[in-house]
Amino acid sequence: VKILLLLLILGTAHAICIHEKLLSPEQIQQLINENNEQIFINLAGKFKLATESRIKALNYRQKFLVHLSPKSFRQKSNKTEVPYYYFEDMNKYYKKIKSHLATNNYSLEKIGTSIKGKDLHVIKPNSLDPLKKTIVMLGRQHGDESTQNWIIEGFLDTVFMGKNKFLKDFQVIAFPMINPDGADAVSRYNSNDYDLNRSWHKDLDKAKDEAKIILDHLYSLNFQNLDIKVFLDMHGSFTEDFIYRVDKDFKDKNFFSAQQTFIDTLGKYDPFQNGYSETSNGAGTMSRIVMIKSFNLNAITHETPRRMKETDSYYRSVSDLKKQGEALVETISEIY
Ligand SMILES: [Zn+2]
């Protein structure tokens, strides 16, 4: 039993932009008393804020998967930090880029709505070319990871308005904001309390909410038959920039070294990423892991600190963040 428990803890210990732990109700209460972090308890797949009454209702002999996040990450932004990116900012950006998309025979298409009724969009070519090198980008699965949308703007600016002739060789399918409800609520989760990056499954029936809408759309594009070079999932960490990749034995040596090449090349163009990586085989319901396991894609997770105050050592400006998006275009151009 002890070994099983240990395996269970190890199996859920990988953290992607959240600290995950298996804790007893007593341990959860202790953490609340320490009062530094907000704690969400996984109750039948939904993440509920740990309140005293909820904790009292838990079986004291059981351990529960919890997510811990500093309280400050859920506050509205203030003047001394990189502006927090809301759904409204996304829509402003769509207005700005729309004519540039049209010039390049691309369009912005509504593919569904969030639980609270906000539009979900994809940016894609008017007609997909199955022979063209393809990049897929997911943005903002976790609503409170705000900085990634500035990076995504930089990426899209470079692709559609830059001097780089990227679209001669490549085509892009981008879902810039998957969790607009979470973005506006400054919450990791969607409006049904699901962690969308634990809500993926190759069987559409088992995928949830907004993740299901995105996957459904990918299937409608026959994405399995496209020549996808890299599948980028854009996230926000606590304090560091890095790329999440799988370990050497997850697939094979070639796959591992292909991911290493991406990490090293990005490090040349992006001084913040600087070649940093973390190895994590993740949870089976993360988009990155589903894309690697079920579709054999080179999927990676891009992490940049989600909130940045001027006093933070990792602080940078919005224009620096946009340059990180430009660095992705340079990296892809060089490798593929
Ligand atoms: Zn995340």
Q: Is the pLDDT of residue 134 over 60?
A: yes
- Output the average pLDDT for the chain: 94
Query: Which pTM was predicted?
Result: 0.94
Task: Calculate how far, in angstroms, residue 139's C-alpha sits from the geometric centre of ligand 1.
Answer: 9
Task: Calculate how far, in angstroms, residue 196's C-alpha sits from the geometric centre of ligand 1.
Answer: 9
| Alpha-helix residue ranges (DSSP H) falling in the chain | 2-11, 25-34, 52-56, 87-103, 148-161, 166-169, 180-185, 209-220, 253-269, 287-295, 318-335
Task: Calculate how far, in angstroms, residue 302's C-alpha sits from the geometric centre of ligand 1.
Answer: 9
Task: Calculate how far, in angstroms, residue 221's C-alpha sits from the geometric centre of ligand 1.
Answer: 25
CA dihedral (261, 263, 266, 267) positive or negative: negative
Task: Calculate how far, in angstroms, residue 16's C-alpha sits from the geometric centre of ligand 1.
Answer: 6
Task: Calculate how far, in angstroms, residue 17's C-alpha sits from the geometric centre of ligand 1.
Answer: 5
Q: Is the pLDDT of residue 291 over 90?
A: yes
- pLDDT in the model for residue 2: 57
Q: Once rounded to an integer, what is the mean pLDDT over residues 231-236?
A: 98
Task: Calculate how far, in angstroms, residue 81's C-alpha sits from the geometric centre of ligand 1.
Answer: 19
Task: Calculate how far, in angstroms, residue 187's C-alpha sits from the geometric centre of ligand 1.
Answer: 11
Q: Is the pLDDT of residue 10 over 80?
A: no
Task: Calculate how far, in angstroms, residue 28's C-alpha sits from the geometric centre of ligand 1.
Answer: 22
- pLDDT in the model for residue 13: 45
Could you tell me if 195 and 297 are in contact, meaning their C-beta atoms sit under 8 angstroms apart? no
Q: How far apart are CA 322 and CA 156, in angstroms?
A: 9
Task: Calculate how far, in angstroms, residue 189's C-alpha sits from the geometric centre of ligand 1.
Answer: 10
Q: How far apart are CA 300 and CA 200, in angstroms?
A: 15
Q: How would residue 317 be classed by pLDDT, with cut points 50, 70 and 90?
A: very high
Task: Calculate how far, in angstroms, residue 195's C-alpha sits from the geometric centre of ligand 1.
Answer: 9
pLDDT tens digits along 248-282: 999 999 999 999 999 999 999 999 999 999 999 98
Q: Is the pLDDT of residue 286 over 80?
A: yes
Q: Is the pLDDT of residue 234 over 50?
A: yes
Task: Calculate how far, in angstroms, residue 144's C-alpha sits from the geometric centre of ligand 1.
Answer: 8
Q: How far apart are CA 210 and CA 155, in angstroms?
A: 23
Task: Calculate how far, in angstroms, residue 70's C-alpha sits from the geometric centre of ligand 1.
Answer: 14
Task: Calculate how far, in angstroms, residue 165's C-alpha sits from the geometric centre of ligand 1.
Answer: 31
Task: Calculate how far, in angstroms, residue 233's C-alpha sits from the geometric centre of ligand 1.
Answer: 9
Q: In sequence order, what are the residues at sequence separation of 6 or more whose Cβ sits closer than 8 angstroms to the Cβ of residue 211? A: 141, 178, 194, 196, 197, 199, 200, 287
Task: Calculate how far, in angstroms, residue 243's C-alpha sits from the geometric centre of ligand 1.
Answer: 12
Question: pLDDT above 70 covers what percent of the chain?
Answer: 95
Q: Is the pLDDT of residue 135 over 60?
A: yes
Task: Calculate how far, in angstroms, residue 235's C-alpha sits from the geometric centre of ligand 1.
Answer: 4
Q: How would residue 85 be classed by pLDDT, with cut points 50, 70 and 90?
A: very high
Q: Is the pLDDT of residue 46 over 90?
A: yes
Q: Once rounded to an integer, what is the mean pLDDT over residues 214-227?
A: 98
Task: Calculate how far, in angstroms, residue 323's C-alpha sits from the geometric centre of ligand 1.
Answer: 20
Task: Calculate how far, in angstroms, residue 190's C-alpha sits from the geometric centre of ligand 1.
Answer: 12
